[in-house]
Amino acid sequence: MLMTAEDYRESLRRYTPRIFINGSQVTNVADEPLLAPGIAGVGVTYDFAHHPDHVHSLTAIEASSGKTVNRMLHINRESKDLLSKLEAVRAVCAESGCAQRYLAHDALNGLYQATKRTDDRHGTDYHQRFIHYLHRVQDEDLSLGIAMTDAKGDRSKRAGEQAKRDVYVHIKERRPDGIIIRGTKAIVTGAPYMHEFLVMPCRTHPAEDADFAVACAVPVDAPGITIIARPAGRRGEASAKFSAKYGQSTGVVQFDNVFVPHEQVFLAGETEEGGFLTTTYATHHRQSCIGARAGFGDLLIGAGALMTRANGLDFEKHGHLRDAMVELITITESFYACGVASSVYCEQDPAGSVMPHPVYSNIGKLLLATKIYDMHRIAHLVSGGLIVALPGPDEDHNPETQASLSAVLSGRPDIPTEQRLEVARFIEDLTVSSQAGWYSVMSLHGGGSPEAMKREIWRNYPVSEKTDLVERLLDRDILDEGQKVTDQPGKCCEKGC
């Protein structure tokens, strides 16, 4: 059943997670004002699946069941699926800033590939278990929180060397009917208002750290789970033109001896495949981040153009403002184009699914991670200082000041002052407020810090094809295939087998 946003909000009443926000326990997630903008953001992914303009990108046929499912839970079979996902993520994020639920898509696709590979290598039955789980999640149209980033402790040490073992989630005990896990995931998007968590390793662990290579699914209210979260958005703040409505909570999720039955365990000690899962998830997720930040670009482009007009200026007459907007458009569409390229040149996986091309996916994410700061700069440049200097919204209703302020703060005569001030507050909300900082940091570190992308680009880029080309043009002898060496990490030879 494809839920609506209202169905989703109501469905949260079935769960009783242990949650703390700002020092107090939250007992009613569905009605909690501090979480309402986050629930509304996820809600967009549900409502758009019924919306005539978006149903084609927000829904898909799951090949393994023949059923129509939400795109955020779909396994990609061809390039077109990846393009539709990219469009879907851009559309939901242009509406909500960040619809959060696409992380589930990325994790499900990573697990689809990793469980198949693990079974092929070790004779396990993870893939079949995972397919059962996938179908249930799709049938119930659930929202899944992705619990991947461990607290990690001292970054210079591996998991097994940490003074406190609980800085990484690990298997504490193996039982005939399942496993007991404990430890801490540090940053989980939407944690308080998810239905279940998908726990996955955040890095490749060596064989001696096998207990840290664990992937499994648990309901948010499984005994032993505590969520310590931040509020979502800026609910109740009159100047928060956007983030009073939509926002994102993130939570620290502590697992204190949580039992996970076998049927919900998808990896339990297979370190090499755990590393593969980390990389495949990241490749899917970085492509989704591209769609998400393109949606954010849409908001800034629209708001920047409205602000310029409200200021009484014309892009045709004022070339520097047009150039600034063209830079904003170029940034947004250049990383989006990487998302398109990564879909078109997708890689077929032996599991039967496709994955975005890793080079384009990582380049797109690297671009947006760094260019997000330029996007903010351009929005500031075209808007002027009003976006930080405008008196608070209470003055809009102050009989002492309202009329005189309104008279002097107008811009173009045919655009009402209130509309100019509204756009200024919208831009303030997205590029200056605490939410603005959140968008920057999420873009920079979400899906991995820039160094992680650089490593993947270098690892996957066919440098040797370029050296061969130059060797050939220089008429130099090229070594036989078998003698060739490579200095790219993760490749044993030129073919990268």
Ligand X SMILES: Cc1cc2nc3c(=O)[nH]c(=O)nc-3n(C[C@H](O)[C@H](O)[C@H](O)COP(=O)(O)OP(=O)(O)OC[C@H]3O[C@@H](n4cnc5c(N)ncnc54)[C@H](O)[C@@H]3O)c2cc1C
**Minimal distance in Å, beta carbon 444 to ligand X?**
7
**Minimal distance in Å, beta carbon 414 to ligand X?**
40
Say which residue the tokens 């993130």 belong to: 250
For residues 292 and 423, which CB has a smaller minimum distance to ligand X in the complex? 292
For residues 83 and 369, which CB has a smaller minimum distance to ligand X in the complex? 369
For residues 433 and 464, which CB has a smaller minimum distance to ligand X in the complex? 433
- Does 446 bind ligand X (CB under 6 A)? Our answer is yes
For residues 200 and 424, which CB has a smaller minimum distance to ligand X in the complex? 200
Stretch that binds ligand X, among 71-79, 116-124, 142-150, 371-379 (CB under 6 A): 142-150
Pairing type for strands 250-261 and 225-229 reads antiparallel
Helix (H) or strand (E) holding 20: strand 18-21
Q: Please tell me the distance from the alpha carbon of residue 79 to that of residue 438, in angstroms, as a whole number.
A: 32
Helix (H) or strand (E) holding 355: strand 354-355
For residues 175 and 454, which CB has a smaller minimum distance to ligand X in the complex? 454
**Minimal distance in Å, beta carbon 265 to ligand X?**
18
**Minimal distance in Å, beta carbon 41 to ligand X?**
13
For residues 411 and 448, which CB has a smaller minimum distance to ligand X in the complex? 448
- Does 198 bind ligand X (CB under 6 A)? Our answer is no
**Minimal distance in Å, beta carbon 446 to ligand X?**
4
- Does 451 bind ligand X (CB under 6 A)? Our answer is yes
Q: How many CB atoms lie within 10 A of CB 418?
A: 12
For residues 202 and 301, which CB has a smaller minimum distance to ligand X in the complex? 202
Q: How many CA atoms lie within 13 A of 155 on its CB side?
A: 1
Q: Please tell me the distance from the alpha carbon of residue 19 to that of residue 225, in angstroms, as a whole number.
A: 9
**Minimal distance in Å, beta carbon 445 to ligand X?**
4
- Does 465 bind ligand X (CB under 6 A)? Our answer is no
**Minimal distance in Å, beta carbon 98 to ligand X?**
8
- Does 103 bind ligand X (CB under 6 A)? Our answer is yes
Q: How many residues bind ligand X (CB under 6 A)?
A: 20
Q: Please tell me the distance from the alpha carbon of residue 32 to that of residue 72, in angstroms, as a whole number.
A: 25
- Does 42 bind ligand X (CB under 6 A)? Our answer is no
For residues 275 and 411, which CB has a smaller minimum distance to ligand X in the complex? 275
Give every CB contact of residue 320 below 8 A, 6+ residues apart in sequence: none
Q: For 213, which DSSP code?
A: -
- Does 277 bind ligand X (CB under 6 A)? Our answer is no
Stretch that binds ligand X, among 223-231, 295-303, 364-372, 442-450 (CB under 6 A): 442-450
- Residues 26 and 33: beta-carbon distance below 8 Å: no
- Does 366 bind ligand X (CB under 6 A)? Our answer is no
For residues 291 and 304, which CB has a smaller minimum distance to ligand X in the complex? 291
- Report the site for ligand X in 223-262 (rule: CB under 6 A): 250
Alpha-carbon distances, residue 257 vs 22, 41, 152, 222 (angstroms): 25, 31, 18, 10
Q: Please tell me the distance from the alpha carbon of residue 136 to that of residue 145, in angstroms, as a whole number.
A: 16
By C-alpha distance, which of 239, 235, 234 is closest to 386?
Answer: 239
- Does 441 bind ligand X (CB under 6 A)? Our answer is yes
Q: Please tell me the distance from the alpha carbon of residue 30 to that of residue 21, in angstroms, as a whole number.
A: 14
Q: Please tell me the distance from the alpha carbon of residue 294 to that of residue 87, in angstroms, as a whole number.
A: 10
Q: Please tell me the distance from the alpha carbon of residue 181 to that of residue 261, in angstroms, as a whole number.
A: 11
Torsion of CA 392, 397, 400, 401, to 10 degrees: 50
Among 19, 171, 188, 331, binds ligand X (CB under 6 A): 188
Stretch that binds ligand X, among 58-66, 187-195, 255-263, 429-437 (CB under 6 A): 187-195
Q: How many CB atoms lie within 10 A of CB 399?
A: 6
**Minimal distance in Å, beta carbon 484 to ligand X?**
30
Task: Tell me the Ramachandran region of residue 52: left when phi exceeds 0, alpha when psi lies from -120 to 50, beta otherwise.
Answer: alpha
Q: How many CB atoms lie within 10 A of CB 428?
A: 24
- Report the site for ligand X in 143-182 (rule: CB under 6 A): 146-149, 152, 155-156
- Report the site for ligand X in 396-425 (rule: CB under 6 A): none
- Does 449 bind ligand X (CB under 6 A)? Our answer is yes
Residues in touch with ligand X (CB under 6 A): 103, 146-149, 152, 155-156, 187-189, 250, 441-442, 445-449, 451
